[in-house]
Chain A
Amino acid sequence: MENAITVKNVTKSFKLYYDKPSTLKERLVFWNKKKSESHIVLENINLDIKKGETVALIGVNGSGKSTLLKLMTKIIYPNQGEIITNGKLTSLLELGAGFHPDFTGRENIYFNASIFGLSRKEIDKRINDIIEFSELGEFIESPVRTYSSGMYMRLAFSVAINVDADILLIDEILAVGDQHFQDKCMEKLKELKNSEKTIVIVTHDMGAVKKLCTRAIWVYEGKIKMDGNPNKVVDNYLKVCG
Chain B
Amino acid sequence: MFKNLYNYRELLKTNIKKEIRGKYKGSFLGILWSFINPLLMACVYAIVFPYILRNTQPHYVTYIIIGIIPWNFFTMSILQGTSCMINNGAIIKKVYFPREILPISLVISGAVNFFISVPIIIIFVLCSGLPITYNIIYLPLVVIVQCLFQIAIVLITSSINVYIRDFEYIINFVINLLFYATPIIYDSTMFPSSMQKILNFNPMTTIINAYRNIFYYNSHPEFSALLTLFIICLILCFISYQIFKRLEKGFAEEV
A120 at the interface (CB under 8 A from B): yes
Is the CB–CB distance between A114 and B14 below 8 Å?
yes
Contacts of A73 in B (CB 8 A): 95-96
A77 to B247, CA, bound (A): 11
Q: Which chain A residue has the least Cβ–Cβ distance from B162?
A: A22
Contacts of B166 in A (CB 8 A): 23-25
A144 to B242, CA, bound (A): 37
Is the CB–CB distance between B91 and A77 below 8 Å?
no
- State whether A97 and B10 are in contact (beta carbons under 8 Å apart), knowing that A22-B165, A91-B95, A111-B18 are contacts in the complex: no
Is the CB–CB distance between A98 and B95 below 8 Å?
yes
Is the CB–CB distance between B94 and A98 below 8 Å?
yes
A103 to B253, CA, bound (A): 28
Q: Which of B14, B88, B167 lies in contact with A111, CB distance below 8 A?
A: B14
Size bracket of the A interface: 20 to 34
In chain A, positions 92-116 with a C-beta closer than 8 Å to chain B are 93-94, 97-98, 100, 102-103, 110-111, 113-116
Number of interface residues of B (CB under 8 A): 30
Contacts of B13 in A (CB 8 A): 114, 120
- State whether A115 and B253 are in contact (beta carbons under 8 Å apart), knowing that A24-B167, A27-B164 are contacts in the complex: no
A119 to B91, CA, bound (A): 19
A40 at the interface (CB under 8 A from B): no
Contacts of B11 in A (CB 8 A): 114-115, 117
- 6 further A-B contacts with Cβ under 8 Å, apart from A14-B253, A75-B95, A120-B10, are A91-B96, A93-B94, A103-B18, A115-B11, A117-B7, A117-B10
Interfacial residues, chain B to chain A (CB-CB below 8 A): 7-11, 13-15, 18, 22, 25-26, 88, 90-97, 164-167, 170, 249-250, 252-253
Interfacial residues, chain A to chain B (CB-CB below 8 A): 14, 22-25, 27, 70, 73-77, 89, 91, 93-94, 97-98, 100, 102-103, 110-111, 113-120, 123
8 closest residue pairs by CB, A with B = A97-B94, A23-B166, A114-B10, A114-B11, A98-B91, A77-B249, A22-B165, A75-B252
